[in-house]
Chains A and B, each alone.
Chain A
């Protein structure tokens, strides 16, 4: 009898556990699971309305007819289940004052998404001429890795593709040519020194390559185990793709590339969703294979034209954890942040800062520190090799802020911006389009 009572007690405990768990597990509504990107829809509508300068004319107009046209166009463009609220703010001396609101909804709407767009008065011309980044007398090409057949890690909350898009928008004005590398096969061409587009200004030599995949680096299938270039990509003795990182380092040196790692431990994993589809990164993300610290060691050997040796020694330091400090901007970073209008937080936690001794070991020079070094560790800086090529390593903690990577690059190249100073007040207005969905769950 006693055992039965015990079992009943166990059942009661498990039932309680289940009820308690079920109480706390609240699955999101279907709309939250697969939401329409209303923010992006709002932005594209504002952008289209501003083609030919209509939006600028309308929001600065005192004429009711223009506002009426704007409202008609907005209503025409949006699906019937989407409500909108368009607010126009006057921007004067950094103060935003509401000028007018247009809406198709009366009551308390759930406006979940908003897109903003700044317009200037149609009778004002702003001039902002950017000096394109150049080296050795020629304009450089920016490649942004956007491979669809690759997965990212340590970029939680984003995808590599959204990061690539944001970087494109942020940095393309500074480069003569900006190219998205959309697949690992295009990356393969690039590694072979070939152009991947027919754009005449594309230059593979001296280019800047931004890896948007976080701690992971895309690998063409040819370099994978069983591929035609396995010997350059896979270290069969140690079962590691550190060999690919070594090849990458050599290419960076050979083509004088600036390789940008946007967050975390550089080259800690490799990714190819086809060739490595059965591998996962120990956290359940498939298409990724762990290389570990051997990746960065091999990369630096390649960059320094040393012979390849498999080394798993850990290079970075969690300075926030070890010294209980946040890293903070250098004076130059503050200046450049203002100069280029890029404003990430000047205080960050850095768990993958690289050590200063790399300079001597691999013939590197550390340049353009974004953050003040802490006890010989650099949280975000350019590690330039003396004979060509560089690694821009942003060793901050997850989640990435790509503005830091952009700032690091701009601090390294220091492109000049020629701005026309314009001080007349009331010539800028901010348009915010808020959208919300009606009906459904």
Chain B
């Protein structure tokens, strides 16, 4: 009787232990399979949403899209792209006015500040895509052709440098490179604003994607900006570099006040709370249009394209100066160059008119780092004739073990 009971006890205990071990083992396999299913679904969704964004036209109400209805599929409208609210901190100008600008700023002299009221926010995009509360995403647009500069030498009245052209993965050989050198010409009058002129040269890259340029009989001592366009097959790339962005009084920061009519505010950098440098600046804004042959042509701006800006002007009446791109050039890609001067110091700032003219990057949406699982997908798109790599990172905001804790 006792042995039967012991036998029974051992048997039941062993069975229960084994049963739970196997339940655990099987559930692990099932759990892994379910997670794979979720992840696979996320990858498909990522591909769908990326196509939706790139193929839908942003000119229709209730639609979030970047496609240009006037061109073929996967050609993006540069203005829709400019209106994406950058993931950088918003800029308020004039301070305390409650007017905010989306801030795509790459450095102290490179600006693209677009009024927030004309922009599309991440939350709006989520709603229009129908993924609000379900998925988070980040869309990044990166130029395929990357142009950089090295070995810059200034001596007397000459300037030489190397231009390096790279694709996404490798240097690009035999690319046609055109360099436009804009430099400040002599100006001794204390109250005068700086004037720029430009010179041009062309070359072809060698097997390592490099080419050398040398400009003679130019004055590189004050300030200059080099804008380089590259042509590979039918694709273009742009790169630029300048000598110095800031004077001891800061520089002039351009704000796009209205994309539709091309009005641009020129503000003192001290007023924008970017730098502590103060002092009055003389400035000169010049607009260059990129023509069909990808050559830069100067265009006469309207309004106060040159003049004098005092720091702290925002608190003393007049807040800024305003210039305007002529109506006939509003649809053309171009570059705004603003040179400024304080005594013998010369600063510069540049702003693309259409995102591709200076190959600005765009990052739109939330931050994918710290997410549990992020699916990504790639497409190649054209903005103007500049190829960009469009990358969408997508993650789930709902579901078991597919979101981060508390996510």
Contact = CB atoms under 8 A, between A and B. Distances in A.
Given A51-B72, A78-B168, A148-B129, A198 B11 contact: no
Interface in B191-248: 232-235
A75 B169 contact: yes
Interface stretch (B55-63, B310-318, B335-343): B55-63
A47 B48 CA distance: 19
Contact of A40 (B3, B51, B134, B376): B51
A183 B130 contact: yes
B2 interface: no
A197 to B, nearest CB: 4
Nearest to A149: B130
Given A47-B73, A47-B74, A182-B63, A52 B39 contact: no
B273 interface: no
Interface in A369-392: none
Interface string B43-83: 11101110110011001111100000000111100000000
Nearest to B63: A182
Contacts of B145: 76
A80 interface: yes
B235 A182 contact: no
Interface residues of B, number: 70
Nearest to B172: A76
A273 interface: yes
Contacts of A1: 3, 7
A14 to B, nearest CB: 5
A425 interface: no
Contacts of A423: none
Contact of A72 (B14, B74, B174): B174
A76 B170 contact: yes
B106 interface: no
Given A6-B11, A7-B15, A33-B40, A73 B72 contact: no
A49 interface: yes
Contacts, number: 185
Interface string A16-52: 0010011001011000011111001100110111011
A3 to B, nearest CB: 4
B13 to A, nearest CB: 9
B29 interface: yes
A183 B128 contact: yes
Interface stretch (A158-166, A243-251, A300-308, A353-361): A158-166
Contact of A3 (B11, B32, B235): B11
A58 B51 CA distance: 28
Interface stretch (B319-327, B362-370, B377-385): B377-385
Contacts of A105: none
B56 A72 contact: no
A79 interface: yes
Contacts of A3: 7-8, 10-12
Contacts of B172: 72, 75-76
B169 A80 contact: yes
A21 B234 contact: no
Contacts of A49: 233-235
Interface residues of A, number: 68
Contact of A69 (B131, B134, B174, B379): B174
Interface string A175-187: 0000110111110
Nearest to B129: A148
Nearest to A69: B233
A180 B375 CA distance: 25
Interface in A317-344: none
B15 A10 contact: yes
A149 B62 CA distance: 14
A34 B129 CA distance: 21
A182 B51 contact: no
Interface stretch (B18-26, B109-117, B178-186, B258-266): B18-26
Q: Which of A47, A80, A162 counts the most B-chain CB atoms under 10 A from its CB?
A: A47
A182 B29 contact: no
B233 A70 contact: yes
Q: Which of B10, B234, B382 counts the most A-chain CB atoms under 10 A from its CB?
A: B234
A120 interface: no
Given A51-B72, A76-B232, A182-B56, A159 B11 contact: no
A118 to B, nearest CB: 15
B361 interface: no
B73 A48 contact: no
A68 interface: yes
Contact of A186 (B26, B62, B233): B62
A75 B167 contact: yes
B232 A33 contact: no
Given A76-B167, A78-B169, A47 B174 contact: no
A96 interface: no
A41 B131 CA distance: 23
Contact of A273 (B8, B44, B134): B134
B74 A48 contact: yes
B333 interface: no
A276 to B, nearest CB: 14
B331 to A, nearest CB: 18
B233 A58 contact: yes
B11 A4 contact: yes
A148 B394 CA distance: 14
A294 interface: no
Interface string B109-147: 000000000000000000011110110000000001100
Given A52-B234, A73-B233, A80-B168, A7 B14 contact: yes
Interface of A: 1-4, 6-8, 10-11, 14-15, 18, 21-22, 25, 27-28, 33-37, 40-41, 44-45, 47-49, 51-54, 58, 68-70, 72-73, 75-80, 146-149, 159, 161-162, 165, 168, 179-180, 182-186, 189, 196-199, 273-274
16 contacts: A2-B7, A3-B10, A3-B11, A7-B12, A14-B18, A36-B378, A44-B74, A49-B235, A51-B75, A72-B173, A72-B175, A76-B232, A79-B168, A162-B48, A165-B51, A198-B61
Given A196-B60, A198-B60, 6 more contacts: A7-B11, A21-B26, A33-B40, A36-B377, A44-B74, A49-B235
